Structure 1
Amino acid sequence: MADMNAAALDPIAEAAIDWLVRLNSGCVGADEQLAFARWLQADPRHEAVWREMAGVLEQPVAAIRQAEARQPGQQRAAHLVLGAPARRKALRSSAAGLLLLGLGGYVLHRQQPLEALLADMHTATGERRRAVLADGSVLLLDARSAVNIDFGAQVRLLNLRQGQILVEAAAAPGRPLIVRTEHGEARALGTRFVVRRGEAGSELAVLDHSVQLTAANGSRHNFAAGRAARYDAQGIVPLADSAAALAAWSQGLLDVRDRPMGEVIAALRSYQRGYLRISPQAAALRVFGVFPLDDPDATLASLAETQPIVIRRFAGLLTRIEHRNEIS
């Protein structure tokens, strides 16, 4: 579980979506209004991204003008958002449809990863899927996963495009079963194993028998049952995590043993249809426990009982996790 981060939005776009949901939730206080105005002024890129995502909305204007009443100089942020009345009218007519389309696409993407739709097999947010393949092998896909299947006369290839899979390989002498990611290949040696594809590297967890792992740089190593490893363009690194813990998702569980909370939240994103954000300070907290993946709200509630965090929800779309020290 060394690298649980899924593909992330650009940090500025991520922050803009956060502000968009919060400012339209009806739960924004004076401090947050002022914080938004300061964020908008902090970097010209903030203005550009915000204008693209939310420049046609009227609600942020009132928020910034209220901030101006408390601290002079914030009115400039309102001009950055909307500009002159004529410009506002033009933005409404030309960009409203694009904004709605973009937000609609984002909501759809949270339910079903758009880049995975063309894969031979894929799963949506919160969905696990089991399938028996043509050779009798059994394949289990985790939520928000995608795989292409290419079974030929010489080799049985599973190209993992996103997420993670558990494979129970059927015997087929002379036709090895291989799971491939951009970081390398895992070749089944009569086995049951898990492969997870991350952005910076992939992970292998061997549950039965053994797997021959070949990294993208050509390094090779055999791993027996119970072992786990991470591999990428630089090579192969054995992991201290148990294979059973890394495969717990197949039972609907998240098994974490002294891992950063940021990894826990990253895993929950595959099961939460809303938008989950966690602050860096909260993400650094260490977590130990077994949590239900199919009930993210219960997992978050459990974390809130045992960790110094505050969980805030906005309009049913955004859940924000922060360290208590960050809350004034």
Structure 2
Amino acid sequence: MSRGAGAVLEDSVAEEAVLWMVRLQSGEVASAERHAFEVWLATDPRHAAAFSRIQKGLGAAQSSPWRGRSSAPILQAINAPSGRRTFLRNALAFGGLALSISVLGRTAGVSWPSVDELETGTAERRTWQLADGSHVQLNARSRVATAFVDNQRRLQLYQGELVLDVAKDSHTPFTLRTAQGVISSTGGRLMVRQNADATRLSTLEGSLQLTPGKGPSITIEPQRSVLFNDRVVVEQQAMRKGETAWLSGWLEVRNQPLGEVVDTLRTYRRGIVRLDNSLASLSVSGLYPLDNSDQTLEMLEQQLPIRVNRFGPYWISIERA
């Protein structure tokens, strides 16, 4: 059913919009959070509409009650009893922002939701247990943010690759966001890699729901590997053997372009690894040690018509032999 312009905003959308506005205007926001906001804004048209409504309300009030203030007092209200939360949402829907924030600022009593950023460095793999009992393992040079608030389980993948073991909870789906869409699971195991313009998803155990940012939701069955952009699933196939080899420190590939192999090696090696563009499409198959990139480069040099030139410890140039 469609809603008029003055309708009350949806619960979760209104609350998320307020959280972002308060954080952005508090002066406390870090660059990673600003990037997360931009991703959130682009993920769903309702997000942009809700945020725009808040901005218009602040414009009508001629000033922001949040600017330069700590985000904690206002954000406390988002977790407050349902009566105050309903008041907040209704006020947002009709533009009464200054009044609602003034009242809520005096009555709030709950702290800012817990948001943790987890990341790995070059050649580092690491596992964390999350607040709900789920486990996430990050590949090298990966970064995520987690948030557990209001009976919601959320994770945002900014860069890199992860394996997520989702603690079973049929009432509270775990949502994982990437730059291209949202993945939802009530229990299972999945692997996700953020590429430059697409996301690779593999369902190791259990089925899940995938919703591209501008496309319909679809069910992905177990043991499937899909590549999707913000509109559609570009490809879907059975999982390839060796996709999870990185968990044990190995890179296992079959007919994979050399360019992709080198991209992986870059996350395990400090410095610059330059590849001649004419070599990027060379097909590579084999099992290579991630934790010994020098050995991997030697193996590739023996296997392919390439020459690996070393200029000190931090500069590698791969050229045609």
Normalising by the smaller structure, the TM-score range is 0.5 to 0.7
Q: CA deviation at 1:164?
A: 1.0
Which residue does the alignment assign to 2:133?
136
User: Larger helix proportion, structure 1 or 2?
Assistant: 1
Which residue does the alignment assign to 1:213?
210
Which residue does the alignment assign to 2:284?
287
**1:306 paired to 2:303:** yes
Q: Is the 8 A contact 2:129 2:135 kept in 1?
A: yes
Structure 2 CA distance for partners of 1:125 and 1:284, relative to 1, 3 Å: same
Q: Is the 8 A contact 2:138 2:163 kept in 1?
A: yes
The structure 2 residue matched to 1:187, chosen from 176, 184, 189, is: 184
1:298 aligned counterpart, secondary structure: helix
Which residue does the alignment assign to 1:278?
275
Which residue does the alignment assign to 1:228?
225
Alignment of 1:2-151 (within 5 A): 120-151=117-148
Counterpart amino acid of residue 227 in structure 2: R
TM-score normalised by length of structure 2 = 0.62
Q: Is the 8 A contact 2:258 2:280 kept in 1?
A: yes
Aligned partners of 1:319, 1:127: CA distance in 2, in Å? 20
**1:261 paired to 2:258:** yes
Aligned partners of 2:118, 2:136: CA distance in 1, in Å? 10
Deviations 1:50-103 (A, max 9, x none): xxxxxxxxxxxxxxxxxxxxxxxxxxxxxxxxxxxxxxxxxxxxxxxxxxxxxx
Aligned partners of 2:241, 2:131: CA distance in 1, in Å? 27
Q: Where in structure 1 are there 5+ consecutive unaligned residues?
A: 1-117
Q: Is the 8 A contact 2:301 2:307 kept in 1?
A: yes
Q: CA deviation at 1:243?
A: 5.0
Structure 2 CA distance for partners of 1:183 and 1:146, relative to 1, 3 Å: same
Q: CA deviation at 1:211?
A: 1.8
Counterpart amino acid of residue 285 in structure 1: L
Higher relative contact order (CA 8 A, sep 6+): 1
Q: Is the 8 A contact 1:126 1:143 kept in 2?
A: yes
The structure 1 residue matched to 2:318, chosen from 314, 321, 326, is: 321
Structure 2 CA distance for partners of 1:166 and 1:201, relative to 1, 3 Å: same
Q: CA deviation at 1:238?
A: 2.8
Aligned partners of 2:116, 2:277: CA distance in 1, in Å? 33
Which residue does the alignment assign to 2:167?
170
Q: Is the 8 A contact 2:144 2:158 kept in 1?
A: yes
Deviations 1:222-260 (A, max 9, x none): 122210111112311234462553322222111211111
Q: Is the 8 A contact 1:131 1:139 kept in 2?
A: yes
Deviations 1:94-152 (A, max 9, x none): xxxxxxxxxxxxxxxxxxxxxxxx97100000000101111110110110000000112
Structure 2 CA distance for partners of 1:242 and 1:156, relative to 1, 3 Å: same
Q: Which runs of 4+ in 1 moved over 4 A?
A: none
Q: Is the 8 A contact 1:205 1:243 kept in 2?
A: no
Q: Is the 8 A contact 1:205 1:247 kept in 2?
A: no
Q: Is the 8 A contact 2:213 2:230 kept in 1?
A: yes
Aligned partners of 1:196, 1:241: CA distance in 2, in Å? 16
Q: CA deviation at 1:220?
A: 2.1
Counterpart amino acid of residue 153 in structure 2: R
Q: Is the 8 A contact 2:156 2:177 kept in 1?
A: yes
TM-score normalised by length of structure 1 = 0.60
2:207 aligned counterpart, secondary structure: strand
Aligned partners of 2:158, 2:215: CA distance in 1, in Å? 20
Q: Is the 8 A contact 2:142 2:159 kept in 1?
A: yes
1:246 aligned counterpart, secondary structure: coil
Q: CA deviation at 1:303?
A: 0.6
Structure 2 CA distance for partners of 1:161 and 1:148, relative to 1, 3 Å: same
